[in-house]
């Protein structure tokens, strides 16, 4: 996993399932400043589509997405 990107906040959603990772991502992205990056770690299979759709709809940028057998890691840059 990339470690060279500085994150403002890390959101651990392991063990949480739809729609909780999406709700918590929405709450947490509002608590960081524009230009900062939120790290989201989840093992919810629905989160991949949910968070990608959320970022596209809200204009935030997914600067990194990594997936392995058990979990996913999103780095989402707040744009507004």
Give CA angle at 75 (43, 62), nearest 5°: 105
Active site residues: 18
Nearest-angstrom CA–CA distance, 40 and 12? 6
Give CA angle at 60 (39, 46), nearest 5°: 60
């Amino acid at each position: 996993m990339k470690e060279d990107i500085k994150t403002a906040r890390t959101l651990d959603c392991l063990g949480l399932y739809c729609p909780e990772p999406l709700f918590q991502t929405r709450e947490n992205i509002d608590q960081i400043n524009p230009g900062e990056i939120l790290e989201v770690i989840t093992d919810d299979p629905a989160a991949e589509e949910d968070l990608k759709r959320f970022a596209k709809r809200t204009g935030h940028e997914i600067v990194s997405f990594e997936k392995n057998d058990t979990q996913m890691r999103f780095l989402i840059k707040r744009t507004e």
